[in-house]
């Protein structure tokens, strides 16, 4: 490191160099979420055409090896004429220049999700190859690029009576560690897009095309998202044609908590924002007014705004001419001017609906009051337990917890392992200064099927909540979390995967803030130990084992398959799974809340039909069963 610091040390990045140097700034990261964000950028551009009445369908084709994607629409087509100032075709300018586009308040788009003029150029910058084909002005043209640079000029292919744009790209493996796209993730996005914008979307993969049609809009979409949850009455649907234009489908269920799948200009906003604030305010105001008007408000019970929204399920979509998103990934809407008008108009419409549906509204009131009363009683019992714990001589932690000595939550780690055998190895392998170990007894309660009243009585869940220290449900306080890295560490077999799935279900349903704040991780213990004399290799799955064996084909080898963490010596477990310098951890994220909700419901819900269907559909892919 040089001690001098002069003008010579200043680097100026031009063209698309900033994107390749710092991709996370534009797509959030180079993990699976960032990889798929490239597809969303192109899909969102096609949606902008549909949103403004110029396109009726979006087609996505995934390569058989899942390494390349083509996104096409039947819109107007990207302009191909020469730009008057830059003297280059508009198509080339858009794909090779940051902040070049028609969505900075000009007339071509009334509503759009693309605001910064960087989406297509970012995809081009991070693509190993990109080919753009455009039909407009009576001709079909094409231009190819490599890592953001044109491979040649725009070329006329043929004449054409059609219009639209088609972009094919392969992500750059020098940027992304894994360039394999997930058909399920793309399918979920296209399905939601069809409902939200009342247009047809298709996904073609391995020669088969799935078509997603708009159906009956958000009401049908919400009903589909409910899955096994039973709605309390019909879905409330509402549309506002003013500014901001908004559309809502809402219903209450017997389930706990609230779930809102919100969108702004067709883009999912998993972190919510000002439009979600308006929805929550309106619902609380309307329900409170209904209860007071009909004299249903209990005098002996304090109802919070969260109590009034308990069980609410909603799909909410707003359209703004000048949306303000949080960053390029657009996960949160920040327009403060929408909250007041949306709250006012929506509260009036919802209260009118509650009054019109007197029978179902009375049932809803009874359900909300009963649930609030049960939570109040639970809080009172918990408060009593807290007072007893405070008066006790020391903090009451699970007896099986091997805690660490550090008092700083930011550096503390908790490994949740299955069984006493694995717990014994992990306790010996850990760094006692900052790593704690909590062994669980076998498979925990399936919280997707269990009633809320059973959670407190389950010893394994009670021990886990006690060790975390942050509370659960309405008593959750993030600042009380004792460990900022909670690692689910199970055996690398199907049984271990099942236990990990049960734990993830519990965290997602009852401690979702820990996932949102980035505190939940999955450990990755090896499945095989491959030895060549004194040389040791670790394999985390069968393909990796075969690759190691193939690379050392002429040498005698000894392969050991670990049946569980308890079979590994403390030294082996420390080297492969616990030591920060040599381990691999996966942070748990939720890029698509609707898809995550559906996956957990299908895998762990009461209805076995989705699991049976999955087994039958995937049976041909099974080479060896781990039973």
Q: What is the DSSP letter of 82?
A: B
Instruction: Note if 241 is an active site residue.
Output: no
Q: Does residue 172 have an active-site annotation? A: no
Supply 66's token pair.
Answer: 């899942």
d(CA 438, CA 440): 6
CA distance 167 to 442: 49
β-pairing, 127-136 with 139-146? antiparallel
Answer yes or no: are the C-beta atoms of 317 and 246 closer than 8 Å: yes
Which of the following is catalytic: 63, 493, 542, 567? Answer: 493
Q: Which of 41, 463, 491, 575 is catalytic?
A: 491
Catalytic hit among 418, 460, 575, 595: 418
DSSP string over 423-455: HHHHHHHS-TTTEEEEEE-SSPP-TTTS-HHHH
Tell me how far apart the alpha carbons of residues 110 and 126 are, in angstroms, rounded to a whole number.
29
Active site residue 493: yes
Which residues on adjacent β-strands are paired with residue 539?
528
Q: How far is CA 291 from the centre of its chain?
A: 36
Partners of 73 in beta bridges: 58, 165
Name the E strands within 213-362.
236-240, 245-252, 259-264, 267-268, 312-319
Catalytic residue among 17, 182, 210, 495: 495
Number of Cβ atoms within 10 Å of the Cβ of 624: 6
- Is there a catalytic annotation at residue 418? yes
Name the packing angle between helices 593-604 and 218-226 (round to 10°): 40
156, containing H or E segment = strand 155-159
Q: What is the spatial distance between Cα 409 and Cα 428, in angstroms, rounded to a whole number?
A: 21
d(C-alpha 306, C-alpha 315), whole Å: 18
Dig out the tokens for 143 from the structure.
Answer: 């231009």
> In terms of Cα–Cα distance, which of 541, 530, 507 is closest to 624?
541
Strands 558-561 and 528-532: antiparallel
Nearest to 20 by CA among 130, 143, 174: 174
Task: Judge whether 130 and 124 are in contact, CB under 8 Å.
Answer: yes
Q: Return the ∠ at Cα 336 (arms to 333 and 340), rounded to 5°.
A: 115
Of 436, 439, 412, 440, nearest to 424 (Cα)? 439
In this structure, what token pair is assigned to residue 24? 């996370």
Q: Which residues are catalytic?
A: 418, 491, 493, 495
């Amino acid at each position: 490191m040089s001690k001098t610091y002069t003008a010579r040390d200043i680097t100026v990045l031009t063209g698309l160099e900033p994107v390749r140097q710092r991709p996370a700034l534009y797509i959030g990261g180079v993990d699976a979420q960032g990889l798929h964000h490239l597809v969303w950028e192109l899909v969102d551009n096609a949606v902008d055409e549909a949103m403004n009445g110029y396109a009726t369908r979006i087609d996505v084709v995934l390569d058989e090896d899942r390494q390349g994607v083509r996104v096409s629409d039947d819109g107007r087509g990207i302009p191909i004429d020469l730009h008057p100032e830059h003297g280059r075709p508009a198509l080339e300018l858009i794909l090779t220049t940051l902040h070049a586009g028609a969505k900075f308040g000009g007339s071509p788009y009334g509503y759009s999700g693309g605001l910064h003029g960087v989406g297509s150029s970012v995809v081009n910058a991070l693509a190993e190859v990109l080919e753009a084909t455009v039909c407009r002005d009576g001709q079909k043209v094409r231009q190819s690029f490599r890592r953001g640079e044109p491979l040649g000029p725009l070329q006329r292919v043929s004449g054409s009576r059609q219009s639209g744009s088609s972009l094919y790209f392969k992500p750059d493996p020098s940027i992304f560690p894994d360039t394999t796209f997930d058909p399920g993730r793309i399918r979920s996005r296209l399905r939601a897009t069809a409902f939200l914008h009342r247009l047809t979307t298709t996904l073609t993969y391995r020669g088969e095309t799935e078509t997603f049609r708009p159906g009956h809009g958000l009401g049908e979409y919400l009903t589909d998202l409910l899955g096994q949850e039973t709605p309390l009455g019909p879905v409330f649907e509402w549309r506002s044609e003013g500014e901001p234009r908004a559309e809502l489908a809402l219903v209450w269920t017997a389930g706990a908590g609230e779930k809102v799948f919100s969108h702004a200009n067709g883009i999912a906003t998993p972190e919510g924002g000002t439009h979600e604030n308006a929805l929550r305010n309106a619902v609380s105001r309307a329900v409170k007014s209904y209860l007071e008007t009909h004299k249903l408000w209990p005098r002996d019970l304090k109802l919070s705004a969260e109590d009034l929204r308990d069980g609410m399920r909603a799909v909410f979509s707003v359209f703004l001419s000048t949306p303000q998103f949080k960053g390029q990934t657009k996960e949160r809407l920040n327009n403060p001017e929408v909250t007041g008008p949306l709250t006012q108009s929506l509260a009036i419409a919802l209260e009118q609906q509650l009054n019109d549906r007197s029978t179902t509204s009375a049932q809803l009131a009874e359900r909300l009051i009963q649930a609030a009363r049960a939570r109040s009683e639970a809080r009172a019992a918990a408060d009593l337990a807290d007072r007893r714990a405070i008066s006790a001589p020391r903090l009451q932690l699970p007896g099986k917890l091997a805690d660490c000595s550090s008092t700083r939550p930011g550096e503390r780690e908790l490994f949740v392992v299955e069984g006493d055998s694995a717990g014994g190895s992990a306790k010996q392998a850990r760094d006692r200064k900052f790593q704690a170990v909590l062994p669980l007894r076998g498979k925990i309660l399936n919280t997707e099927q269990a009633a809320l009243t059973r959670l407190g009585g389950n010893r394994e869940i009670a021990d886990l909540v006690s060790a975390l220290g942050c509370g659960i449900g309405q008593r959750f306080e993030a600042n009380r979390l004792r460990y900022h890295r909670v690692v689910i560490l199970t055996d690398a077999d199907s049984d271990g995967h099942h236990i990990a799935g049960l734990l993830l279900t519990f965290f997602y349903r009852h401690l979702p803030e820990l996932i949102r704040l980035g505190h939940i991780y999955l450990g990755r213990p090896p499945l095989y130990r491959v030895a060549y004399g004194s040389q040791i290799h670790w394999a985390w799955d069968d393909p990796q084992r075969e690759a190691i064996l193939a690379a050392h084909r002429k040498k005698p080898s000894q392969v050991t398959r670990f049946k569980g963490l308890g079979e590994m010596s403390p030294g082996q477990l420390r080297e492969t799974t616990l030591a920060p310098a040599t381990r691999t951890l996966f942070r748990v994220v939720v890029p698509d809340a609707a898809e995550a909700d559906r996956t957990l419901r299908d895998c762990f819900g009461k209805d076995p039909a989705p699991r049976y269907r999955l087994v039958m559909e995937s049976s041909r892919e099974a080479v060896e069963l781990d039973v």
